[in-house]
Amino acid sequence: MNKMKGVPIFLSLVVLGLASSIASASDPSPLQDFCVAVKDSEVESALFVNGKFCKNPKDVTANDFFFQGLDKPRDTSNPLGSNVTQLNVDKIAGLNTLGISLARIDYAPHGLNPPHIHPRGTEILVVIEGTLEVGFVTSNQDENRLFSKVLNKGDVFVFPVGLIHFQFNRGYTNAVAFAGLSSQNAGVITIANAVFDSDPRINPDVLTKAFQVDKNVIENLQKQFWVDNNN
């Protein structure tokens, strides 16, 4: 009988543990009205925290929550033909602990925001101008299924956290999209850059076997200049 009584308590602890792990899977909830990020090179070099240190609330101004000029087109004259303007906590200090950020993406005709992931945030994208082919790929456990759609002005698409996704301008004119992300700093890992332009380089033998191609192909890819379109 005593063993049976202990089962509900054990299950309750398991559920509580799972709930806690799920709750901590995104940016932590703020415990005050705001926690405007402050840069202190001496402190930051000595301590590492999951986020940024808070400015004294008495020193906070409206400018800590402000950014100007997101209406202006960005330069897309790079090999990818795209430019991502990130508005995360590094650009708007007031975003610290709020668990949200924004990005503007400009695309030249046939411009590409290449396959990448955001390790810490889900993305919701809305097309402002142009036509975009977008998509994401599921995990190995889900057989790497591709979910893809052609979006026009006013259309919205969601990219789940941590999954490889992309956007391609199918049109002959410029395109613009805005994206909201569920993190103050969602992070970006561009797949090609990470694989072929890491520092130091990944052993070519590893990539040759992984991609099942000739080693010369890998070595040539590692010699290329890989563009980072994130600003």
Angstrom distances, CA of residue 170 to CA of 20, 81, 135: 43, 12, 13
Q: Which helix (H) or strand (E) holds 46?
A: helix 41-46
ω into 115 cis (within 30 of 0)? no
Outline where DSSP puts E strands in the chain.
Answer: 82-87, 101-107, 112-117, 123-129, 132-137, 146-151, 156-159, 164-169, 175-181, 189-190
Q: Are 54 and 38 contacting, i.e. CB atoms less than 8 angstroms apart?
A: yes
Q: Which residues are part of a known binding site for oxalate? A: 113, 118, 123
Q: Are 176 and 73 contacting, i.e. CB atoms less than 8 angstroms apart?
A: yes
For residues 230 and 173, what is the distance between their CA atoms, to the nearest angstrom? 21
- Give the helix, strand, coil percentages of the chain, each rounded to 5: 30, 25, 45
Q: Residue 47 burial by CB count (10 A; 0-12/13-18/19+): exposed, middle or buried?
A: exposed
Q: Which residues are part of a known binding site? A: 113, 116, 118, 123, 165
Q: Which residues are part of a known binding site for Mn(2+)? A: 116, 118, 123, 165
Side-chain half-sphere exposure of 58, counting CA atoms within 13 A: 0
